[in-house]
Amino acid sequence: MSARRLELPVLIVGAGPAGLMAAIALARGGIACVLVERRRELSSLPRATAISTRSMELLRSWRLEEEVRAGGIEVDWLQWYCETMARADVGHGRPTGFPTREQSAVVSPTSPACVPQDHLEPVLLDHFRSLAVGHAELGTEVAGVEHRPDGVRVALRDVARGGSRVVDARYLIAADGAHSTVRRALGIEMRGPDRLVGAVSGLFRAPLWELVGDLHYGLYAITHPQAEGVFLPAGGGDRWLYGMSHEPGGPVADLTEDGMAQRIALAAGVPDLRPRIERIGRFSFAAQVAGGFRAGNAFLVGDAAHRATPRGGTGMNTAMHDGYDLGWKLGWVLRGWADADLLDSYETERRPVAEHNVARSADPGGTGREAGHELQADLGGRIGHAWTAGAGDRVSTLDLLGPGLTLFTGPEPTPWLEAAAAVRGPSPLTVTSLDAITARAIGIRAGGALLVRPDGVPVDSFAPRTDALPSLRAALTRPMPAADTPKAA
């Protein structure tokens, strides 16, 4: 190991969605971290294309929603079954687990988006860099990991020049993907089936939108007996993905570029279509969860912690939520706003969601789920969305969450304001008064209050006629409960 050594609060390995979300959450909390990525450039492949309701809420809270949506296309979130794209007008839709536009308007200030990953990642990286707290290093890989009493020592190597250095980090976040170098170094095994089925995808450009007219959907399931597969919009314009699954050694496993073009033309229902093939990818499905998401001061997030198949579109979103969740919690601990015990809630809260989504993705029919149950997994126990009354721009209850704790009250906040002024907890506390209808919509009865974490998860609920000062003091001094075990009133 080189004598060059850097000490820092957090080192993040991997600049995919999970690592970028963690870096932003930390930076927005004022915690300088270093984000390293083995690739010298972010991937130019669309990969995932579905950004869930909760993911869009997080991006909205960072004022990135419009910039992210600019790289995608507006769709209805149904899987549209049709023989070919040319016959989409006689197809039919089935649910995907994502809410429709009408359903979204009821449960959230935003809605799922159809945006390719290769647009999302640069937006996130640019935002992280704009915060000027910490920095990102592309073309840097991990050469070794060593646990130490006060953190983790990591050997880093410059991919191009071969130079190395050592980083002593209090905390390490492994966001380095399904074949995580850090996970292997930590000795954490993956559990669950690998190579469930083979898959081939073609990234191409062709004028398919003119075939479907106004029927814009996030996924088209083609039922033609010689061209079964799925079409996915992969950004603006005529950029698409076409995917097929197969058993080992199946006829499409070694499809050539010409063969892929012919198959796409057949699935499109346009024999003389000449799609411009940009790439053919081959991979296999896996449905696995790590035996643990933590080893000492090192944590696994995203595909390093769980591998899902594309069914249901949950893989990238689960990763994004991992990164955000761990990021804000590490930020709280490093700022002295919470004890280190808060970090135990990372796996407690994220593992059930990961296991649910991975199991769903292993189900051959896992894409076809109703939105109701899948929204519960996606939204993660946050408070309800309701528009507040008042003039000007509409404001959601979710827009009112601060970086510390938020105490929501009804239209008579005086006892709670007095209590908040008289008691001091380790983290900042903001008291926000809601009109009676909005307060009731999120479960606050007249005279009561609701204490909420920065991620929108309730910490404590106070009933009417509660003695505000001792109740609030007790809530601010007890350990913070995990999302699945909120404190009852």
pLDDT of 54-66, one tens digit each? 999 999 999 999 9
Phi, psi of 23 (to 5 degrees): -60, -45
What is the percentage of the chain residues whose pLDDT exceeds 70? 96
Residues 404 and 340 occupy one common structural domain: no
Residues 136 and 242 occupy one common structural domain: no
Residues 123 and 110 occupy one common structural domain: no
Q: What is the DSSP letter of 24?
A: H
Residues 308 and 161 occupy one common structural domain: yes
**pLDDT of amino acid 485:** 43
Place of tokens 């280190």: 340
Per-residue tokens: 216:
């814009």
Residue type, 405: L
- Listed in sequence order, the residues at least 6 apart from 440 whose beta carbon sits closer than 8 Å to its beta carbon are 410
Three-class DSSP category at 8: strand
Residues 402 and 420 occupy one common structural domain: yes
How does residue 262 score in pLDDT terms, banded at 50, 70 and 90?
very high
Handedness of CA 68, 71, 74, 78 (dihedral sign): negative
| Boundary (domain end) residue, out of 284, 302, 335 | 284
| For residue 149, pLDDT beyond 90 | no
What residue numbers bound the domain in which 217 lies? 73-114+197-284
Rounded to 5, what percent of the chain is helix, strand, coil? 35, 25, 40
The count of other CB atoms within 10 Å of the CB of residue 430 is: 15
| For residue 384, pLDDT beyond 80 | yes
Residues 46 and 14 occupy one common structural domain: yes
Residues 170 and 201 occupy one common structural domain: no
Mean per-residue pLDDT, 418-429: 92
What DSSP element (H or E) covers 127?
A: helix 117-130
Per-residue tokens: 65:
């929603």
Residues found in the chain: 489
CB environment 263-283: b (16+ within 10 A), e (fewer): bbbbbbbbeebebebeebeee
Does the residue 468 lie in any domain?
yes
Residues 467 and 355 occupy one common structural domain: no
How does residue 2 score in pLDDT terms, banded at 50, 70 and 90?
very low
User: What CATH number did the domain enclosing 363 receive?
Assistant: 3.50.50.60
User: What CATH number did the domain enclosing 252 receive?
Assistant: 3.30.9.10
Number of structural domains (the chain) is 3
| Boundary (domain end) residue, out of 229, 264, 284 | 284
Alpha-carbon span 18 to 21, nearest angstrom: 5
pLDDT of 434-455, one tens digit each? 999 999 999 999 999 999 999 9
Residues 345 and 427 occupy one common structural domain: no
Per-residue tokens: 427:
């983290």
| Boundary (domain end) residue, out of 313, 346, 379 | 379
Residues 170 and 47 occupy one common structural domain: yes
Per-residue tokens: 399:
């827009």
Residues 39 and 121 occupy one common structural domain: yes
Does the residue 464 lie in any domain?
yes
Does the residue 61 lie in any domain?
no
Ranges of beta strands (E only) in 324-426 are: 405-409
- Listed in sequence order, the residues at least 6 apart from 336 whose beta carbon sits closer than 8 Å to its beta carbon are 426
The model's pTM is 0.95
Does the residue 487 lie in any domain?
no
Residues 51 and 162 occupy one common structural domain: yes
What DSSP element (H or E) covers 12?
A: strand 5-13
pLDDT of 219-261, one tens digit each? 999 999 999 999 999 998 999 999 999 876 677 778 899 999 9
Does the residue 51 lie in any domain?
yes
**pLDDT of amino acid 219:** 97
Does the residue 389 lie in any domain?
no
Residue 301 CA: distances (Å) to CA of 229, 248, 269, 298: 30, 30, 41, 10
pLDDT of 356-377, one tens digit each? 999 999 999 999 999 988 999 9
Does the residue 148 lie in any domain?
yes
- Listed in sequence order, the residues at least 6 apart from 374 whose beta carbon sits closer than 8 Å to its beta carbon are 97, 98, 312, 360
**DSSP annotation string for 130-195:** HTTSSEEEESEEEEEEEEETTEEEEEEEETTT--EEEEEEEEEEE---TT-HHHHHHTPPEES-S-
Q: Are 249 and 215 in contact (CB under 8 A)?
A: no
Does the residue 178 lie in any domain?
yes
Place of tokens 């960072």: 62
